[in-house]
A and B are shown apart, each in its own frame.
Chain A
Amino acid sequence: MDAIRKLESRTVVLPATDIDTDQIIPARFLTTTSREGLGGNLFYDWRFDADGNENPDFVLNQAESAGCTVLVAGRNFGCGSSREHAPWALLDYGLRAVISTEIADIFRSNSLKNGFLPIVVDEATHAWLLDNPGVRVSVDVEKSTVTLPGGASVSFPIDDFARYCLLEGIDQLGFLQKHEDAIQKFEEERPWKP
């Protein structure tokens, strides 16, 4: 995972609530055995019509969305399945963060392991972002803040360990492996064995 400290981008807004992982990447694209190249299938059934033509009404297909890395989405983004293909597809497409008032548990955990930022802000900030698509925001991972145009900053909650891993680009498997002795001890000493 690449380290991520700061992001600056205009926002793309998807106001729908409860955007589930089947929308982020439909199941029929999960037959891959690799984690690369999923960006082309991101939001596939919203981006394309039945014949594979771009849907001009979908925000990601509009010129002003080009190059944006921050998504603003309705409440409960990423609900549904545990497919890590969802953050893989978002990242491969070029997005780096989502801002919402609530982000589903497994999606959030998967995102953090891949350097995709799940950012939860208060209702008022969120409502303002939904109403003002395309504004330039900057995200500071170290300070855990989103800065809005005009300079006002709001902070977002992030687990200390997850933040440390993001800032350093740390692979959590390596961290787990350092516990090998404790794991072995646990296995030997536990009163019952699975």
Chain B
Amino acid sequence: MSSSTAKTLFEKVWSDHLVQDETPETPAVLYIDLHLIHEVTTPQAFTLLRQKNLAVRRPDLTLGTMDHSTPTTPVHSFKDLAVVGESAAKQVVAMQDNCAEFGLELLGFESDQRGIVHVIGPELGATQPGKTIVCGDSHTSTHGAFGALAFGIGTTEVGHVLATQCLLQRKPKTLSINVSGGLQPGVTAKDVILAIIGQIGVDGGTGHCIEYRGAAIESMDMEARMTVCNMSIEAGARAGMIAPDEITLAYLEGKPRVPQGSAWSVAAERWLSLRSDQGASYDKTVDIDGSKLQPMVTFGTNPGMVISVADPVPDADGNASFQKALDYMQVVPGKPLSESPVDVVFVGSCTNSRISDLQQAADILRGRKVADGVRMLVVPGSQQIKKEAEALGLDKIFSASGAEWRESGCSMCLGMNGDTVPKGQLSVSTSNRNFEGRQGIGARTVLASPMTAAASAIEGRVADPRPYLRD
């Protein structure tokens, strides 16, 4: 194939969904195959529909859940919502009412399929290669792990998709991130994406759709690929994609919402054809040697402020924003983070709450104890993952080590549901954002992999997981 006709994965999915191409004067009209909705970013969109007397155009392509402001203690009735506060309870009730009024499927409290929106989409097989997927949530990029074009949108755009199943979009540029080599033991997908953000910066992907490629990516399982694509937004990119392959197919086959029987083979063949053509060109390319990567942690207040776990915190060198971050985090340049005592450990969020994440944390915790004075919270990404983890006995390992085992939800990732890190405390968290106050007012967040989080819980300070690995 000549390089002029060779297309990238992104270009194939993009052009497959053009109701109308862009012109200099007008953006493209892009068709959306799956619209995921949750309680926080939809109420104002439903209000708009009501004001304009509009229906939801394709309820069959819309799927709702509740995750952000739901409690992670068991909920049996709406009365239990009081634990998260009155306005959060009202928002959750509004979600239920809106879905009922507009005829939308909602995986609500009573559903054993509810969970974090970016966890349940793939788990149900609603997320599929080649689809366009949007949600009023920036971590929609997660679904790109399947070779879908998936990105976060604002509430006004949620209204646009509900009403027309389309969005007005300008075509982004493409960025190829090539991670070569094999990862060392103790180095995970989370460390890879943190290292990428550390290298290209929190705005390195702005205006681009990333495609992750290379041996290190190709050898990852789907859960690890989701971890990588999840944090594309932390690198400034709205979307990150990985080409569908046999690993993708093996994950999806038999999931409840994928095509079945002969339709499966047809879909699988189409999906495999989506990979970027030989010679396809990208606007920008970045190369990273995966074999050199170490377990990574953040030390500042954005996800680009990242070092390997044993390295000293860098100096601000007169940069005021950098210094402000160091002051907020109460970390000292020249010293490694292992000198920072840890108060809270959080394993969860749409980045790292899947079964393999929980397994990695449990493997390190098995037979060991969470250090005195450390609170460790383990929050599975969905009710199904919770069930699966319990079948494997992971809940017992967590409880025996002194960690709390919860119902699914976003929880301490953004602290909307009452699960927060107290002021000034240091939290090692498997989530995706270490912004000031993200996990609670004045909370200090260190982002890390589930293994690093578990090792830190044991030591009561930020710790390298490698001494705890089992053969």
Q: Which residues of A contact B (CB under 8 A)?
A: 15-18, 20, 22-23, 26-28, 30-35, 45, 50, 74-76, 79-84, 102, 104-106, 109-110, 113-114, 159-161, 164, 172-173, 175-177, 179-180, 182-183, 186-187, 190, 192, 194
Q: Please name the residue on chain A nearest to B235 by beta carbon.
A: A79
Task: Select B207's contact among A35, A105, A113, A159, beta carbons within 8 Å.
Answer: A105
CB-based contact A16/B87 at 8 Å: no
Q: How far is the CA of A76 from the CA of B205 in the complex (A)?
A: 11
* B436 at the A interface (CB under 8 A): yes
Which segment, of B29-37, B210-218, B350-358, B378-386, faces chain A? B29-37
Which residues of B have CB within 8 Å of A20?
Answer: 302, 433, 435
Cβ A161 vs Cβ B26 within 8 A: yes
Q: Is the CB of A16 within 8 A of B324?
A: yes
Q: B203 touching A104 by the CB < 8 A rule? A: yes
The answer to whether B138 has its CB under 8 Å from any CB of chain A is: yes
With A27-B414, A110-B156: A105-B44 Cβ-Cβ less than 8 Å? no
A83 to B153, CA, bound (A): 8
Partner of B88, one of A23, A31, A84: A31
| Nearest chain A residue, comparing its CB with the CB of B128 | A194
CB atoms of A183 and B164 under 8 A apart: yes
- For A194, the chain B residues whose CB sits under 8 A away are 33-34, 61, 128, 131
Q: Which residues of A lie under 8 Å from residue B227 when comparing CB positions? A: none
Residues A31 and B69 in contact, CB atoms below 8 Å apart:
yes
Q: How large is the interface on B (under 10, 10 to 19, 20 to 34, 35 or more residues)?
A: 35 or more
How long is the Cα–Cα vector from A29 to B34 in the complex, in angstroms?
A: 28
Task: Assess whether B203 is in contact with A79, with CB atoms less than 8 Å apart.
Answer: yes
Q: Which of A161, A176, A179, A190 contacts B25 (CB 8 A)?
A: A161
Q: Is B152 an interface residue (CB 8 A)?
A: yes
In the assembled complex, the Cα of A161 lies from the Cα of B23 at a distance in Å of 10
A76 to B, closest residue via Cβ = B203
Q: Which residues of A contact B441 (CB under 8 A)?
A: 26, 45, 50
Residues of B within 8 A of A31 (CB): 40, 69, 85, 87-88, 90-91, 416
A172 to chain B, nearest CB (A): 6
CB-based nearest A residue for B19 = A186
Neighbouring B residues of A179 by C-beta, 8 Å:
19-20, 29, 164, 166
On whether the beta carbons of A176 and B29 are closer than 8 Å, the reply is: yes
Smallest CB gap from B27: residue in A: A161
Give B5-35 as 1s and 0s: 1 = Cβ < 8 Å from A's Cβ atoms.
0000000000010011000111101010110
Contacts of B131 in A (CB 8 A): 194
CB contacts under 8 Å to A, within B82-108, are: 85, 87-88, 90-91, 94
Check A82–B91 contact: CB distance below 8 A.
Answer: no
Add 11 more A-B contacts to A113-B157, A186-B19 (CB < 8 A). Answer: A22-B436, A31-B91, A33-B94, A82-B154, A104-B206, A113-B154, A160-B25, A161-B27, A173-B160, A176-B166, A179-B19
Q: Is the interface of B mostly helix, strand, loop or mixed?
A: loop
> A159 to nearest B CB, angstroms?
6
CB-nearest residue of chain A relative to B205?
A105
Q: Of B27, B236, B437, which contacts A105 at CB under 8 A?
A: B236
Which chain B residue lies CB-closest to A79?
Answer: B202
CB contacts (< 8 Å) of A102 on chain B: these are 203, 206
Least Cβ–Cβ distance between A162 and chain B, in angstroms:
8
Contacting pair B154 A84 (CB below 8 A): yes
- Does B168 touch A at the CB level, under 8 Å? yes
Answer yes or no: B423 CB below 8 A from chain A CBs: yes
Q: Which 4 A-B pairs have the closest CB atoms?
A: A194-B33, A33-B43, A110-B154, A84-B154
- Between B34, B156, B423, the greatest number of chain A beta carbons within 10 A of the residue's beta carbon is seen for B156
Name the CB-closest residue of A to B418. Answer: A28
Q: Which residues of A contact B206 (CB under 8 A)?
A: 76, 102, 104-105
Which residues of B have CB within 8 Å of A109? 153-154, 157
- Closest-by-CB residue of A relative to B437 is A45
Are B155 and A45 touching (Cβ within 8 A)? no
The interface residues of chain B lying within 8 Å CB-to-CB of A110 are: 154-156
Most buried by A among B25, B61, B163, B233: B233
Q: Which of B25, B31, B156, B237 contacts A84 (CB 8 A)?
A: B156
Q: Digit string of B423-442 for contact with A (CB within 8 Å is 1, else 0)? A: 10000000001011110011
Asked if B348 lies at the interface with its beta carbon under 8 angstroms from chain A, I say no
A16-B321, A113-B157 known; A82+B168 contact, CB < 8 A: no
**Contact across chains for A160 and B24 when beta carbons are under 8 A apart:** yes
Q: What chain B residues lie within 8 Å of A190 (beta carbons)?
A: 16, 31
Of A30, A80, A180, the contact of B164 (CB 8 Å cutoff): A180
With A31-B87, A104-B236 in contact, do A173 and B159 touch (Cβ < 8 Å)? yes
In whole angstroms, how far apart are the Cα atoms of A20 and B352 in the complex?
22
Which residues of A are found within 8 Å of B156, using beta-carbon distances? Answer: 84, 110, 113-114, 172-173
Q: Give Cα A175 to B167, complex, Å.
A: 11
- The verdict on B238 contacting chain A, using a C-beta distance below 8 Å, is yes
Q: Which residues in A have their C-beta under 8 angstroms from that of B433?
A: 20, 22, 80-81
B270 at the interface (CB under 8 A from A): yes
Q: Does B137 contact A (CB under 8 A)?
A: yes
B321 A18 Cβ-Cβ under 8 A? yes
- Using Cβ atoms and an 8 Å threshold, which residues of chain B touch A173? 48, 52, 156, 159-160, 163-164
A30 to B414: give the CA distance in the assembly, Å.
11
Q: Is B136 an interface residue (CB 8 A)?
A: yes
Q: 17 A-B contacts, Cβ less than 8 Å apart?
A: A15-B321, A30-B40, A30-B416, A31-B91, A81-B433, A102-B203, A110-B154, A110-B155, A159-B170, A161-B26, A173-B52, A177-B164, A180-B164, A182-B20, A183-B165, A183-B166, A194-B34
A23 to B27, CA, bound (A): 30
Q: Known: A31-B85, A31-B91. Contact between A76 and B163, CB under 8 A?
A: no
Residues of B265-287 contacting chain A, CB below 8 A:
267, 270
State the Cβ distance, A42 to closest chain B Cβ, in Å.
Answer: 14
| Cβ contact within 8 Å between B202 and A18 | yes
